[in-house]
Structures are given as structure tokens and as C-alpha cells.
């Protein structure tokens, strides 16, 4: 993963090692169809984008379809087993990037770590009020489930949905300020950690 905040599209290899022609994608040469694992290229670079929270969903989708088509194992019929394996590996890589870039929470998480923030394992901080609130809500959910109280479950679903919405708005606001300063990155980390608590509650419902 790129660690330099100023790297934008940086590391697309200039030339294909097989045919020596210039490459538009770090994943494959459009001229001779050589594939590259591009393991050290960020999800953003893979999609030819500058690292940013605000992305055009349609651009992401179209780029994904183009990439997926270009590297699909079917495009390499009768290829050596090695090429087949590489094609599968590169496809999995593109799928992972697509999933991350399309999901606002995963995208913020990825961007935060890429731009110097801590991971969820490194910084588990969750605001005390979020902890007490989720604890209370969890009890209410369990009670409502135990007594099959559909009305309460509906109300809880709406309440937790709203909390997710509000937290995501906070995530977006902070993620747009990245790389920001350490205070900003820690605040985003705490929001993303809180989001996991709320998402877990939503799964219970």
C-alpha cells in the first residue's frame, strides 16, 4: 500500500517488460496482454484515480467492468497454468479494490490507513457514550426479540438505522479532510470504530 500522501497515480509502470511499449494500466499491457500482479499499487491507482473519499460511483463501476473484462481468465485461452493463476490473482485483486472503493465505510477505512491513520486493531478507541448507548440498545433488542415484540423491533431498527446514517455523515466529513492532522485522523478512527458497533447492532435486527 502506498504510504506517501502525495502520491497520486504514481506507480503505473512506464513500459511493459515483454514488449517495451507504454502501459496505461499497472495490471496489464493492452498491446501484448502481459499481466502484472501490481501488488504494491493502491486500489486508487489500480482504478486510475487520485486518492479521495468522494468518488463517482458510475466511474468506479465502469472502470471495474473494463478492468474485469481485460483481465478475465477467458481472455487467455490455452494459456500456461502460470498465466491462468496470475489472471485469477489479478482478478481477485480487482474485485477487492472494487468492493473497497464502492463501500463508503471501507473506502474511508482504506483511505485513513493509506494516509497515515491507525487501523482498527491499532486504535480501538470508541467514545464512552457510544459504548453505553450500544449496550443499552443491545439489551432492548434482546428483550424485544425474546418477547417477539415486532413494534419495538421496528422502532429499534429505525433508531439504529438513523445512528448509522449520522455516523456515516461524520465519517464522510472527516474523510474529506484527509490526510488532515493527527486529531482529525483519530476522530475518524473513533467514528469508524463506532460505525462497527452500530453495524453489528443492525445485523442483530
Please say which residue, 16 or 97, places its beta carbon nearer to Zn ion: 16
Write b or e for each residue in 100-122: b if 16 or more Cβ atoms lie within 10 A of its Cβ, otherwise e: bbeebbebbbbbbbbbebbeeee
Identify the residue among 4, 10, 11, 19 touching Zn ion (CB under 5 A): 19
Q: Give 199's contacts (C-beta < 8 A, 6+ positions apart).
A: 105, 164
Task: Tell me the window of 30-38, 97-105, 107-115, 154-162 that interacts with Zn ion (CB under 5 A).
Answer: 30-38
Q: What is the DSSP letter of 180?
A: -
Stretch that binds Zn ion, among 8-16, 103-111, 160-168, 191-199 (CB under 5 A): 8-16
* Cβ-based nearer residue to Zn ion, 29 or 175: 29
* Three-state DSSP string of 79-97: CCHHHHHHHHHHHHHHHHH
Q: Can you tell me which of 29, 46, 112, 188 binds Zn ion, judged by CB under 5 A?
A: 29
Report if residue 16 touches Zn ion, rule: CB under 5 A.
yes
Would you count residue 97 as binding Zn ion (CB under 5 A)? no
Count of residues that interact with Zn ion, criterion CB under 5 A: 7
Nearest distance from C-beta of residue 36 to Zn ion, angstroms: 10
Identity of the residue, 15 or 155, whose beta carbon is nearer to Zn ion in the bound complex = 15
Q: Does 168 bind Zn ion (CB under 5 A)?
A: no
Conformation bin of residue 116: beta by default, left when phi > 0, alpha when psi is -120 to 50: left
Beta bridge partners of 73: none
Q: Which is nearest to 109 in space by CA: 98, 122, 120, 99? A: 120
- Does the footprint of Zn ion cover residue 18 (CB under 5 A)? yes
Radius of gyration of the chain (CA): 21
Binding site for Zn ion (CB under 5 A): 16, 18-19, 29, 31-32, 34
Amino acid at each position: 500500500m502506498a504510504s506517501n500522501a502525495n502520491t497520486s497515480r504514481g506507480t503505473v509502470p512506464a513500459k511493459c517488460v515483454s514488449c517495451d511499449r507504454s502501459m496505461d494500466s499497472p495490471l496489464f499491457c493492452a498491446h501484448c496482454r502481459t499481466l502484472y500482479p501490481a501488488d504494491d499499487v493502491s486500489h486508487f491507482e489500480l482504478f486510475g484515480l487520485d486518492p479521495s473519499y468522494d468518488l463517482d460511483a458510475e466511474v468506479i463501476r465502469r472502470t471495474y467492468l473494463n478492468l474485469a473484462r481485460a483481465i478475465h481468465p477467458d481472455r487467455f485461452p490455452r494459456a500456461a497454468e502460470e498465466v491462468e493463476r496470475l489472471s485469477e490473482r489479478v482478478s481477485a485483486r480487482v474485485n477487492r479494490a472494487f468492493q473497497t472503493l464502492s463501500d463508503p465505510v471501507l473506502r474511508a477505512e482504506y483511505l485513513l490507513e493509506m494516509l497515515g491513520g491507525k487501523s482498527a486493531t491499532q486504535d480501538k478507541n470508541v467514545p464512552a457514550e457510544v459504548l453505553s448507548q450500544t449496550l443499552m440498545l443491545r439489551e432492548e433488542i434482546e428483550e424485544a426479540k425474546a418477547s417477539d415484540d415486532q413494534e419495538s423491533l421496528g422502532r429499534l431498527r429505525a433508531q439504529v438505522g438513523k445512528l448509522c446514517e449520522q455516523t456515516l455523515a461524520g465519517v464522510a466529513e472527516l474523510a474529506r479532510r484527509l490526510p488532515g492532522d493527527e486529531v482529525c485522523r483519530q476522530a475518524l478512527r473513533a467514528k469508524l470504530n463506532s460505525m462497527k458497533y452500530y453495524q453489528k447492532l443492525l445485523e442483530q435486527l
